Amino acid sequence: MNGVAASPGAGAGSVFILHERTVPLGRTGPSSPSDGDAAERVHLRKSAESELERFRRGVDVAAAYYRGLVERVRESVGNEEAEIFEGHLEILGGEDVAEYVAEAVLEKEAIAERAVVDFAEETAKEFEALESEYFRQRAGDIRDIGRRLAEAIYYGSIADPTDLPESSVVVAEELTPSATARLDTSRVVAIATEKGGRTSHAAILARSLSIPCVTGVVGLLAAVRGGQTVLVDGDAGTVSTDVDTAVLEDVRVRSARQREEAEAQIRWSREHPAQLRDGTPVHLAANVSGADEARLAAQVGAHGSGLLRSEFIFMRYSDFPTVEQQTNEYRAVCEALAPHPVVVRLLDCGADKPLPYARQAPEDNPFLGERGIRYLRNREVQLKAQVEAIDRVAREGHDIRLMIPMVVSREEIDVVRTYLDGSNLPVGIMVETPASVLTLKRLSDRVDFVSIGTNDLVQYTLAVDRGNAAVSDLYRELHPAVIAAIDQVVEDAHNAGIHVGVCGDMASHAASALALLALGVDELSASTSAIPDIKAALARVDKNALTSLGAALRAAATADESRSAANALALVKE
């Protein structure tokens, strides 16, 4: 099967199909029988007894799941986080849920799944109405318990992506950030998805961890089954189900050789600075999703982080993390990358990065909907909490900066600055919309730096859904309109005296990274796994070569559109 080659390398293993299980929540039983209908009353009583037995079995399954989760979290994260799931266990075994379910089943003829979800929703709303911030934060936990218990009742098990077998090939319709946050990636040898392109989150995750990945494989889920051995070739963009032992051995040898080469590259990268052949330094940072990835970035010689994706931190929690929890998370990232700076992007949920507990309504065009600063402006409590947490870390003496996503107006910057009265915390914006490109001159006096988010900038400039494999060939990072947009951002920002970085996918590929430097950007923030390749590419060119390349790219962008993108790419590779 053919798809989009999203992350290089080849991996063979057993299929692990990752999907969110849906649980039917209808009600069972006819209307209440008449007093004289004894047979119907007997039937309903037996039905109710059956539902209560299903509920009890589900509680046993869910309790076993949470006991295992407590132990894993205690070993891998710590006691404080494990206590959260111990609290979930107490709720499952409590009298409140049992009494509510019994009443709903016996008096309202509810099925067990509906009863537990209704209990969770009513209890969560009661928590949200309390004055205590602690209990309001627990509302999401309650809803999650209801979902997990309903799943245990209906399926007799709880799907847990943390329970991956060794050498798993993760297969999904689409790999969401919330799902990836729960994956034990040390057990993943490859990823394949039905939807998505080179800049989908599955692809970005795979490249950051050097996991082979193919996206946009039409008919993938219908063609494979759990436990089946498949081969994912991230170089050729193929997924093969008919794999003989000779091919598997070849993949094993090839993968071992690639690991050895990667380890040698990492050692070289750690020992050498990011600089051009003539010694000109280049600020090369890493895009990270938390402290673990920040430590890996430090090991390959990254100079800080130009993009801490805070939404991935949020996805590890069952409800919005508190100010204290966020402060601890951001501090850990800063400590891992010290003394270099860390840029925290404010929560950018929505579109292809939904938060399970955010309760956002479905949108017809989510990429054009309530996401980034648009979401936070409507959630004042969450915006204030995140800004306060970042500012706390800054006041401790760490080099941390705040970045606002999806900006299209000055008002969006001013809303954030409202919570920073008296603070010297540097504030920047993501330039990822045509509006922010065209109005940067008017925005620049409100910010200390800008960072170009090329993934969305290309998508919005070309009107191409970057997650749609059907139009992936139209997603061209060196399209003349994109070159012109980046060129204009650099010129306007430098005229205003502010720093320009790039944290999009273009910064994570050697060829396009050189193109960005040639167009005058001051900083690259790339995926951790790409840093050794980029350092090696930098060492092969000098400042004069980049100046010539920049002039050639601008000239190519003004040529015939049908040839200019290809010409620009050829220039960069040359």
Q: Please state, in angstroms and rounded to a whole number, the distance separating the CA atoms of residues 448 and 343.
A: 12
Q: Confirm whether 503 is a catalytic residue.
A: yes
Q: Please state, in angstroms and rounded to a whole number, the distance separating the CA atoms of residues 192 and 416.
A: 39
Of the candidates 201, 303, 398, 509, the residue annotated as catalytic is 201
Three-state secondary-structure class, residue 500: strand
Of the candidates 303, 334, 503, 509, the residue annotated as catalytic is 503
Residue with tokens 């329970």: 163
Contact 194, 175 (CB under 8 A): no
Output phi, psi for 296, to 5 deg.
-65, -40
Contact 317, 385 (CB under 8 A): no
Q: What is the rounded (10 degree) CA torsion for 500, 350, 196, 291?
A: 60
Q: State the distance between the two ends of the chain, measured CA to CA, in whole angstroms.
A: 32
Residue with tokens 């399954």: 61
Number of residues that make up the chain: 574
List all residues 6 or more positions away from 170 whose beta carbon is below 8 Å from its beta carbon. Answer: 16, 18, 161, 164, 183, 188, 190, 191, 192
Q: Please state, in angstroms and rounded to a whole number, the distance separating the CA atoms of residues 182 and 193.
A: 17
* Whole-Å CA distances, 248 to 10, 188, 234, 245, 467: 10, 16, 15, 5, 30
- Token pair of 556 as six digits: 């190519």
- Structural element, H or E, at residue 286: strand 283-288
Output phi, psi for 558, to 5 deg.
-95, -5
Q: Please state, in angstroms and rounded to a whole number, the distance separating the CA atoms of residues 9 and 203.
A: 13
Would you tell me how many other CB atoms lie within 10 Å of the CB of residue 36? 8
Three-state secondary-structure class, residue 489: helix
Q: Please state, in angstroms and rounded to a whole number, the distance separating the CA atoms of residues 413 and 432.
A: 15
The one-letter amino acid code at 390 reads I
Q: Please state, in angstroms and rounded to a whole number, the distance separating the CA atoms of residues 524 and 499.
A: 11
- Token pair of 188 as six digits: 């993943």
Three-state secondary-structure class, residue 139: helix
The residues that are catalytic are 201, 503
